């Protein structure tokens, strides 16, 4: 009997040991799961701090987590991003606008403003001689020359020229550039540019009911004694500007290569009077601008290259005034 009791006690001890081992294993497993959950939560927190949108709000499969805060955070990031990109877009737009205005104001990259205009007179002279002698001169600047007057006395000759219109009514509205003089044909070629503000200035000056069109101007060229009212011209538009490429023929003009101590009587200054064509008055131009002066420096070259010596399409002739 005692042996059986002892045996039962041994069995009970064995069973208790097994139960204790099972409980230990369950405790370890539970701890492992808790550790895994904590690690997952910690990892998820790190992802959230790193701004990983693909992992924001993820949680352990056995846990339910309040994601309302992260949703608000997402919305906040989206609004901030929109504001940021709108700001970047505005900066880029302003930069491109400034670049565009600078580019458009530079006529050197506009071929029309520098083109040689073939008229019948130029074609005939070119075919006969095989070349043309061209002087180029752009006005603009301040200077002084010493000349000899009729009494053989030295005199100071001051000059101040601007390529822009300077009268109060149309100040800065017009500009002349790329001036050429062809010796064989006595032709003066130049570009006349009209600013968009000219229409409003002319409308105010003449109390017009509507703004005039860009192609509303006519010209008179003068050397102080002679007036030239007949000319050929081409037109073109670019951005906010309207262009004339004008050719006066039969202009007497001799350039002086060495102006110092030249006779004062030999000075030839060519001026351009600009008119609003619909209401023009010979004695009241919108502005008078200096185009060329035969004493100032000019570049001379021979036009010899094989060019298409033919009249360009759109070349028109015009007479601004019929003078007696």
Q: Name the DSSP class of 53.
A: T
Q: How far does the chain reach from its first CA to its final CA, in angstroms? A: 160
Hey, is 18 helix, strand or coil?
A: helix
Residue among 206, 194, 171, 192 nearest 280 (CA): 206
Whether pLDDT at 297 is above 50: yes
pLDDT of residue 79: 74
pLDDT of residue 324: 67
Report, as an integer, the average pLDDT of 257-280: 86
pLDDT, averaged across the chain: 79
Hey, is 185 helix, strand or coil?
A: coil
Q: pLDDT for 91-116, tens place per residue?
A: 777 767 665 565 555 555 678 888 99
DSSP H helix total and E strand total for the chain: 4, 13
pLDDT bracket for residue 221 (50, 70, 90): very high
pLDDT of residue 74: 54
Measure Cα distances from 218 to 26, 166, 194, 207, 310 in Å. 104, 18, 12, 19, 25
Hey, is 320 helix, strand or coil?
A: coil
> DSSP string of 58-85?
---TT-----HHHHHHHHHHHHHHHHHH
β-bridge partners, 154: 148
Residue percentage of the chain with pLDDT more than 70:
69
Q: pLDDT for 118-160, tens place per residue?
A: 999 999 999 898 899 999 987 677 888 888 888 888 888 888 8
Residue 179 parent element (H or E): strand 174-182
pLDDT of residue 57: 47
> DSSP string of 125-170?
HHHHHS-EEEEEE---EEEEEEEE-TTS-EEEEEEEE-SB--SSTT
CA gap 164, 139 in Å, rounded: 10
Report, as an integer, the average pLDDT of 292-318: 84
pLDDT of residue 6: 47
β-bridge partners, 188: 181, 248
Report, as an integer, the average pLDDT of 198-223: 91
Answer yes or no: are the C-beta atoms of 276 and 124 closer than 8 Å. Answer: no
Report, as an integer, the average pLDDT of 255-284: 87
pLDDT bracket for residue 201 (50, 70, 90): very high
Spans of all domains in the chain: 2-65, 107-319
pLDDT of residue 26: 60
pTM, two decimals, is 0.68
> DSSP string of 209-235?
SSPPPSS-EEEEEE-SS-EE-EEEEEE
Between 177 and 1, the higher pLDDT residue:
177
Q: pLDDT for 59-75, tens place per residue?
A: 445 445 555 555 555 55
Answer yes or no: are the C-beta atoms of 137 and 297 closer than 8 Å. Answer: yes
Q: pLDDT for 154-196, tens place per residue?
A: 888 888 888 899 999 999 999 999 999 999 999 999 999 998 8
Q: Which phi-psi region, left, alpha or beta, contains residue 261 (left: φ > 0; alpha: ψ -120 to 50)?
A: left
Whether pLDDT at 296 is above 70: yes
pLDDT of residue 226: 93
At residue 138, φ and ψ (nearest 5 deg) are -110, 125
Between 323 and 33, the higher pLDDT residue:
323
Question: Do β-strands 132-137 and 299-303 pair in parallel, antiparallel, or remain unpaired?
Answer: antiparallel
pLDDT of residue 158: 86
């Amino acid at each position: 009997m005692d042996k059986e009791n002892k045996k039962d006690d041994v069995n009970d001890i064995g069973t208790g040991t097994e139960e204790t081992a099972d409980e230990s294993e369950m405790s370890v497993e539970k701890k492992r799961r808790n550790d895994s959950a904590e690690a997952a939560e910690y990892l998820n927190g790190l992802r959230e701090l790193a701004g990983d949108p693909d992992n924001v709000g993820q949680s352990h499969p056995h846990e339910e987590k309040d994601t309302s805060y992260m949703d608000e955070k997402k919305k906040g990031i989206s609004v901030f991003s929109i504001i940021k990109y709108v700001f970047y877009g505005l900066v880029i737009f302003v930069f491109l606008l400034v670049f565009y205005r600078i580019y458009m104001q530079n006529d050197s990259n506009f071929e029309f403003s520098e083109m040689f205009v073939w008229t019948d007179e130029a074609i005939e002279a070119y075919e006969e001689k095989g070349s043309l002698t061209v002087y180029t001169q752009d006005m603009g600047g301040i200077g002084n020359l010493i000349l000899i007057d009729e009494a053989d006395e030295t005199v100071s000759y001051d000059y101040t020229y601007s390529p822009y219109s300077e009268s109060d009514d149309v100040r800065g509205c017009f500009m002349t550039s790329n001036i050429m003089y062809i010796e064989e044909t006595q032709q003066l070629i130049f570009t006349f540019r009209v600013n968009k503000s000219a229409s409003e200035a002319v409308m105010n000056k003449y109390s017009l009911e509507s703004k005039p069109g860009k192609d509303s101007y006519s010209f008179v060229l003068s050397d102080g004694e002679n007036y030239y009212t007949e000319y050929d011209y081409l037109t073109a538009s670019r951005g906010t500007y309207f262009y004339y490429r004008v050719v006066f023929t039969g202009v007497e003009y001799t350039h002086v290569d060495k102006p110092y101590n030249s006779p004062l009587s030999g000075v030839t200054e060519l001026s351009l009077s600009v008119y609003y064509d619909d209401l023009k008055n010979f004695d009241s131009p919108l502005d008078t601008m200096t185009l060329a002066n035969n004493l100032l420096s000019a570049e001379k070259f021979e036009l010899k290259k094989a060019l298409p010596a033919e009249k360009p399409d759109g070349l028109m002739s015009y007479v601004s005034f019929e003078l007696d």
